[in-house]
Amino acid sequence: MDAERYRTTQFGKATQRPGDKWAFTYYRPEPIPRTLSLDTETVFLLSEAENSLGHLHGLGRLIPEPNLLVGPFLTREALASSRIEGTNASLTEVLKAEEVEAAKTDDVAEVERHLAATRKGLQLIQTLPISQRLIKQVHAELMDGVRGEEKQPGEIRWSPVWIGSSTPTTALFVPPLPEHLPELLTDWEKFVNEPSRLPLLVRSALMHYQFETIHPFLDGNGRVGRLIIGLQLIAEERLTAPLLYLSGYLETHRQDYYRGLQAVRETGDIQEWIQFFCQAVKTQSDDSVARAAQLIEIRERYYRQTVADRSRVAALIPLIFGNPFITTRRVRLSLDVTNQGARNLLERGVDYGWLKYMGSLGSAGRHYYAATEVLEAIERPTIYDKNE
C-alpha cells in the first residue's frame, strides 16, 4: 500500500508496525466521528433519499400482506450483492434452484447462502441489536458450505488481509491489523446503537464505510456489510419489510461505489461517499415503489379473476409471488392436496393466463410452470439516469 496516497484525516491514516513479519504499511481507521458538517449538495441529496425511502416505507405499511412481495426483492438483493463480488448467476437460475432439487453451480449456491444469511439477520434483529454477535452469526450462515468456507465462518480474522494485489506492498488498500479489530468493532457497534443527532442515512453511510474499512472477516465482508444496511433500516423502523435492494445500484455503479469508499480513506472526502450512498437509496427506493406497485396490480387482478371460482385456484397466487417458478410438489405440500389436485390447480392457473407450462426440471424430472408476467415484473432491469 502506497502511504503517499493517504492523508491523515479524521477517518484514519496510513501507518505501519516495524520490526516483524507484518512490517508493511496499512490503514488504521479512527473511531467513527459522531458529528459531521454536510455541504449543500449532500443535504439536498439526503432530503431526496429520505423522501423516496419514506414513500417505500409508506407503501410497505399500506399494502396488505407485504411479506408476500418480499421473496423477489430478497432474491434480487442477494443476486446483485453476490455479483459485486464476482458471482455469475442469473435470477432465473436462482429461482429455479429454490424450486427443485438439482445440481447447483457454485455461483447459485453462494446466492442461496446470501438469502439464508439475510433471513437469519431478519430473524436475529427481532431480539438482538446490530452487533458483533449478530454479524458473526450472519457471516457464519453466509459462508456455510460454499467457496471460502475455510476462511473462518463466523470468526473475526486473526491475520492481515489486503485488497487489489497479491502482496501488501503493492495492494491498493490494506485494512487494519487484527490487533486493532476489537477496539474498532466495539466503537462501530457503539456508533450503530447509541442515540445520535445524525440523520439515519448518514449514519448508514458511515456504518457501511467503517465496516468495509475494518474488514473484520477473511472473506464475505462486502456481502455482510451490504446486508446490514437493510437490517438497520428495518431495526430503526424506516422500513417495515426488506423491499429495498440497494445492491442493484451498487453493482451497476460498482466503480463509483469502490471509488467513494476509497476516497474517504485516502483524502477524507466523506461528502462524495454520502452523496453516492443517498443517490443509491433514492434510486432504488423509487424503483422498489414502482416494481412493488406493478406486482400489487398483477396480484389484485389475479384475485379478481377468481371471485366466482369455486376451486382453490386463488391459493396459488401467494405461491407464485413467492417464487414464479412452481412445481406440482410445492403446490401439493403447501396446500395439502393430492398430486392430481395440485396438477388441476396448476392447469387452472394456465387457463387464467397466470402460468405457462415449461417442461420437466431437476433429477426427478418434475414438471414445472412459470408465472411469466410476475417473472417479467421481477426481472425488469432498473433504468438508471445517465447523468447519475
Per-residue pLDDT of 314-360, as tens digits, reads 999 999 998 999 999 999 999 999 999 999 999 999 999 999 999 87
- C-alpha to C-alpha distances, 192 to 6, 45, 256, nearest whole angstrom: 26, 22, 25
Give residue 101's pLDDT band: very low, low, confident or very high (50, 70, 90): low
Name the average pLDDT for the chain: 92
CA dihedral 170, 222, 154, 15 (to 10 degrees): 40
Task: Please tell me whether residue 369 adopts helix, strand or coil conformation.
Answer: strand
Q: Tell me what pLDDT residue 363 has.
A: 60
Nearest to 172 by CA among 1, 29, 298: 1
CA–CA gap between residue 307 and residue 301 (Å, rounded): 10
Residues 6+ apart with CB under 8 A from 334: 315, 319
- Whether 152 has a pLDDT exceeding 90, the answer reads no
Q: Tell me what pLDDT residue 136 has.
A: 98
Give residue 249's pLDDT band: very low, low, confident or very high (50, 70, 90): very high
| Boundaries of every domain in the chain | 3-291, 311-379
What number of other Cβ atoms are within 10 A of residue 193's Cβ? 13
- Whether 19 has a pLDDT exceeding 80, the answer reads no
CA–CA gap between residue 367 and residue 328 (Å, rounded): 7
| 162 phi and psi angles, rounded to 5 deg | -145, 155
CA–CA gap between residue 342 and residue 365 (Å, rounded): 16
- Whether 21 has a pLDDT exceeding 80, the answer reads no
CA–CA gap between residue 243 and residue 72 (Å, rounded): 9
- The kind and range of the H/E element at 326 are strand 325-327
- Whether 168 has a pLDDT exceeding 80, the answer reads yes
- Whether 384 has a pLDDT exceeding 90, the answer reads no
What number of other Cβ atoms are within 10 A of residue 324's Cβ? 26
3-291 CATH? 1.10.3290.10
Q: Tell me what pLDDT residue 362 has.
A: 61
- Whether 54 has a pLDDT exceeding 60, the answer reads yes
CA–CA gap between residue 212 and residue 223 (Å, rounded): 10
- Whether 146 has a pLDDT exceeding 80, the answer reads no
Which residue intervals of the chain are DSSP H helices? 40-62, 70-84, 91-99, 106-124, 132-143, 181-193, 200-214, 221-235, 247-252, 254-267, 270-305, 316-322, 328-335, 339-351, 372-379
pTM of the complete model: 0.92
Q: Pairing between strand 366-370 and 325-327?
A: antiparallel
- Domain 3-291 shares a fold with domain 311-379: no
Farthest-apart Cα atoms in the chain, separation: 81
The residue ranking higher by pLDDT, 242 or 362, is 242
Give residue-wise pLDDT tens across range 254-268: 999 999 999 999 999
Domain 311-379 has CATH 1.10.10.10: yes
CA–CA gap between residue 75 and residue 142 (Å, rounded): 14
Give residue 63's pLDDT band: very low, low, confident or very high (50, 70, 90): confident
- The kind and range of the H/E element at 258 are helix 254-267
CA–CA gap between residue 132 and residue 182 (Å, rounded): 10
N-to-C CA span, the chain: 30
Give residue 100's pLDDT band: very low, low, confident or very high (50, 70, 90): confident
**Residue given cell 443517490 in the structure block:** 279
Task: Quote the percentage of the chain above a pLDDT of 90.
Answer: 75
Give residue-wise pLDDT tens across range 263-315: 999 999 999 999 999 999 999 999 999 998 899 999 999 999 999 999 999 99
Give residue-wise pLDDT tens across range 197-219: 999 999 999 999 999 999 999 99
Nearest to 91 by CA among 114, 70, 72: 72
